[in-house]
Structure 1
Amino acid sequence: MPDDIDTSMPHEARVYDYLLGGKDNYAVDRAAGDQILQVTPQMPVWARHNRAFLNRAVGFVAGQGIDQFLDIGTGLPTVANTHEAAHRVNPDARVVYVDYDPIVLAHAQALLDPGGTTAYIESDLREPARLLAEAERFLDLARPTAVMLVAVLHHIRDDEAPEEHVRALLDAVPVGSYLVLSHATYDFLDPEDARALHDVLGSSPMTFRARTREEIERAFLTGLEVVEPGLVATTDWRIEDGDIGSAPDTTRAGHWAVVARKTRA
């Protein structure tokens, strides 16, 4: 284990791993996860729907001819990763995973393939210039690229200007690139349950900022061409046979989801 991993405080990636049923977490992460589960026992279902959206979105974007993916805030390796979904469509697609947590880097070898089509860099969404400079070692950002921000922006506070960081990332890629985004929300909860979850997350040392549909649309989608069916629940985005559940059910979502295309410089 790298020396700079702090196991005294819960970390978003490790708590998420716990909620997904993973094993790369510590007692402090499980305690934080259990607090969340006490008020929102459906959270693991939300996490699985979010992962299913990621796979559908990557498959769609790869089907549009995109062969470069910049996956930011990827978290710990789990089943059905971005490169697996992309390679089902195009085995030569290149994927760069980005995370700032050293434990994620410690597990990077689980994702790197012998063909050299995947890479892992340690960087932070809140430092887009540095992130992009690192990514350009593996990707040609002059060519259309999928910028993936799946379940990461709700860990960025308003005063950290997440909309500016997203704009910097999109400004760095050409017309024809895509944004793949999902974001946690309280919109699908009744007010009492939303307050209970907000209180638990607000008392945690982890950063969490749920946003409404309107906030997400205004902050991150301005100037982009939103792909059908639009900004919808993860359970509603191009749901297919075999996905979790037999029909869309927004109470099982917990995240808004969208794929959008850059159509002008």
Structure 2
Amino acid sequence: MSPELQAKVERLDTLLDSIAARHERVKLASSLAAEDMVLTHAILSRGVGIGIFSLNTGRLHAETLGMIERVKERYGYDIEQFHPQQDAVDAYVRDHGLNAFYESIDLRKSCCHIRKVEPLNRALSDVSAWVTGQRREQSVTRAELHEEEQDVPRGIAKFNPLADWSESDVWDYLKAFDVPVNPLHARGYPSIGCEPCTRAVRPGEDSRAGRWWWESRDTKECGLHITNIKIVEEAPSSAI
């Protein structure tokens, strides 16, 4: 491990300890992808008082779901799963079709709201802060990401401890600590969401290019990270 990465690891550990000390109830929202596995290891290997949950949308890859058992085997921890409300899913499929999200941004965001945002709101209903694995380097919608911010719509604090980490930092950490990783990463999926909305990326594309690839690059958020979207919408065109 390089001295630079060692310094980032020490700072990460200090930051997570500080978050847990400041907030009695705080959770990591895990996509079970690389960045969130860094945070999962940093939390569980050291017994930090931060809970971990995942949003089981009903349309995840089998490989992603398999990570829940791998975390349990490695750390003895059951990741809490939040599912969409079945009546809302049924109504969407009845009114629009199972894969209507390909037809328009509005229909895609509606599907994301049902399968991800509403379950997230339930997951965060009993906390005063949450933690994400977002990084500035991931996409244009995250370029102005802060390490600590206020989730105004939910009235809680939000922390992005890996905001200034590079992709190589993430993978060097995972290798150094032998952390389990989603096998989809080895198949060209740096960012992993629902199966029908995620593809492998091409050489030279940013890490989130495979998410909702049929949309323009500045709409690629699902609504979980509302503050990111607000920043992009309000930024001058030269900053996008």
Shorter-chain TM-score tier: 0.3 to 0.5
**TM-score, with length taken from structure 2:** 0.40
**TM-score, with length taken from structure 1:** 0.37
- Of Structure 1 and Structure 2, the greater strand share is in 1
